[in-house]
């Protein structure tokens, strides 16, 4: 019997589980949608119990479908920063507000960042400390019962091991100059460290033996990037997910041109950006204006037309990098009597590709030209989006096998156990020179539009 790992990824829309063999072969997958998620203007939160139920259901299904694989470890990744207050028994006391999507703690953030410069303060939109302070000020009775503040990944790992956990990447989002955390935080662990052993109760729910090592993990986007092969300085990757990440590994770099830097499960640091734009925008169109068609059907219809002169801004819920503006908003410009759903969808896809191009242009200003990019995430199923992304960056994009599946957490767990399978590209998408020239010419226009739309917002 071969060895493998169970990986669990908790994203914006649901939970995905995979079993991956020690040679990198995907053996089984399962998923569950969140049932109690809340996403609206200014409020975005998950019920942590949803995460637990989804992890148990999807994980158990994946394990059952991989009966010929001996699971040697469990890996977890999750959306974040998404803080949760827990009691001494590690039971959740609160919902989990989702990074910059949830705006309720904006007054607290502004107070905490008053001593900082404008650019430095803008980079704190995702920081978890204002949300912890919001609970302290608005829910004092509940806050008084809190034994720990955990983030999503650490909460899930704690539920499996009985040990409060926070990884070293996430810990950076629980720091602000001159601000002490209002609740106890676990000591940070490396994402590849073993956080503890799988407890008897969670083991039974997953159909696994108790005592298996559970790896610390970190944010899903960084785990996905590392799993796609971005591991060493010079590697570059793009995650096409509900939101996007565009980054390049470097030995060292400073945040410039609206970009950020972060540690990740690889060598050096990542320079790049993590957006609020992505598949959420295309899902919004599908659900509200798609006429019951799937993303595949919408993309197929849009692939045979151009935008019809429509220019789109995708900032439905504000934007992180490079704008750092929670009040940024979306727009469709250039609509006419001939505009149809296929033209609008095409314009939205191109707007997401423009967001990527905006980031890659800024990254290359710091680190020089990048010859190719690794592409991963659920958006790789959308061939129109993939092609537009390649055209926008003006370079080949390499797509590994099963790029739309959540292999990252299982691969991270395998690395922690001493296995490190390669993931060569299964497909390479070359840019179309005409498309690249189009995105080049549109970049100055795209960058200027948010300022114009801001002037007319009521």
Work out the average pLDDT over 112-124. 85
Checking if the pLDDT of 119 tops 90, the result is no
Percent residues over pLDDT 70 in the chain: 100
Domain-wise residue ranges, the chain:
2-221, 232-402+424-456
**Range 30-34, long-range pairs (CB < 8 A, 24+ positions):** 30/57, 30/58, 30/59, 30/61, 30/62, 30/65, 31/58, 32/57, 32/58
- Tell me the C-alpha distance between 130 and 146, whole Å: 16
Provide the CA 111 distance to its chain's centre, in angstroms. Answer: 27
pTM of the model: 0.94
DSSP 8-state code for residue 400: E
Segment 359-391, tens digit of pLDDT: 999 999 999 999 999 999 999 999 999 999 999
Across 78-102, average pLDDT: 96
* Residue 387 DSSP one-character state: H
CATH architecture type of domain 232-402+424-456: 2-Layer Sandwich (3.30)
| 232-402+424-456 has the same fold as 2-221 | yes
How does residue 455 score in pLDDT terms, banded at 50, 70 and 90? confident
CATH architecture of 2-221: 2-Layer Sandwich (3.30)
CB burial readout 421-446, b (16+ within 10 A) else e: eebebeeebebeeebbebbeebeeeb
Give the number of other Cβ atoms within 10 Å of residue 210's Cβ: 12
Q: Is it the case that residue 456 has pLDDT exceeding 80?
A: no
Judge whether residue 357 has pLDDT over 80: yes
Tens-place pLDDT, residues 218-272: 999 999 999 999 999 999 999 999 999 999 999 999 888 999 999 999 999 999 9
Q: Is residue 458 very low, low, confident or very high in pLDDT (cuts 50, 70, 90)?
A: low
Strand, helix or coil at 391? Answer: helix
The whole-number average pLDDT for the span 203-217 is: 98
What is the phi/psi pair of residue 407, to 5°? Answer: -75, -20
The pLDDT mean for the chain works out to 95
Distance from C-alpha of 330 to C-alpha of 277, rounded to nearest angstrom: 10
- What's the maximum distance between 2 C-alpha atoms anywhere in the chain? 64
The Cα 177–Cα 111 span in angstroms is: 12
């Amino acid at each position: 019997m071969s060895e493998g790992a169970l990986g669990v990824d908790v994203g914006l829309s649901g939970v995905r589980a995979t079993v991956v063999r020690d040679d990198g072969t995907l053996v089984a997958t399962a998923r569950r949608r969140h049932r109690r998620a809340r996403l609206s203007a200014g409020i975005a939160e998950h019920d942590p119990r949803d995460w637990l139920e989804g992890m148990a259901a999807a994980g158990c299904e994946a394990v059952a479908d991989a009966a010929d694989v001996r699971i040697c470890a469990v890996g977890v990744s999750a959306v974040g920063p998404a803080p949760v207050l827990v009691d001494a028994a590690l039971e959740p006391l609160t919902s989990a507000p989702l990074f910059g999507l949830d705006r309720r703690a904006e007054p607290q953030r502004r107070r905490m960042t008053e001593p900082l410069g404008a650019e430095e303060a803008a980079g704190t939109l995702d920081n978890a400390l204002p949300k912890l302070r919001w609970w302290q000020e608005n829910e004092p009775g509940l806050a008084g019962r809190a034994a720990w503040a955990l983030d999503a990944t650490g909460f899930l790992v704690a539920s499996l091991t009985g040990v409060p956990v926070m990884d070293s990447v996430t810990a950076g989002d629980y720091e602000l100059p001159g601000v002490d955390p209002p609740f106890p935080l676990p000591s940070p662990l490396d994402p590849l460290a073993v956080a503890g052993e799988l407890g008897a109760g969670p083991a039974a729910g997953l159909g696994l033996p108790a005592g298996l090592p559970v790896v610390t993990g970190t944010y899903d986007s960084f785990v996905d990037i590392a799993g796609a092969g971005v591991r060493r300085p010079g590697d570059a990757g793009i995650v096409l997910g509900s939101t996007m990440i565009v980054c390049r590994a470097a030995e060292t770099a400073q945040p410039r041109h609206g970009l950020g830097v972060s540690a990740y499960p690889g060598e050096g640091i990542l320079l790049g950006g993590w957006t609020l734009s992505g598949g959420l925008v295309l899902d919004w169109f599908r659900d509200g204006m798609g006429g019951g068609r799937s993303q595949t059907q919408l993309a197929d219809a849009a692939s045979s037309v151009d935008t019809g002169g429509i220019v789109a801004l995708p900032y439905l819920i504000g934007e992180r990098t490079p704008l750092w503006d929670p009040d940024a908003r979306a727009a469709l410009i250039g609509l006419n009597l001939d505009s149809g759903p296929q033209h609008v969808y095409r314009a939205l896809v191109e707007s997401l590709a423009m967001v990527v191009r905006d980031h890659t242009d800024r990254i290359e200003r710091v680190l020089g030209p990048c010859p190719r990019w690794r592409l991963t995430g659920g958006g790789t199923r959308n061939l129109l989006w993939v092609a537009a992304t390649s055209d926008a960056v003006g370079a080949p994009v390499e797509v590994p096998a099963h790029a739309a599946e959540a292999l990252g957490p299982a691969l991270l767990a395998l690395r922690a156990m001493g296995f490190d399978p390669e993931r060569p590209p299964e497909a390479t998408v070359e840019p179309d020179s005409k498309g690249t020239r189009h995105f080049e010419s549109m970049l100055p226009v795209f960058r200027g539009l948010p300022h114009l739309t801001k002037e007319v917002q009521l």
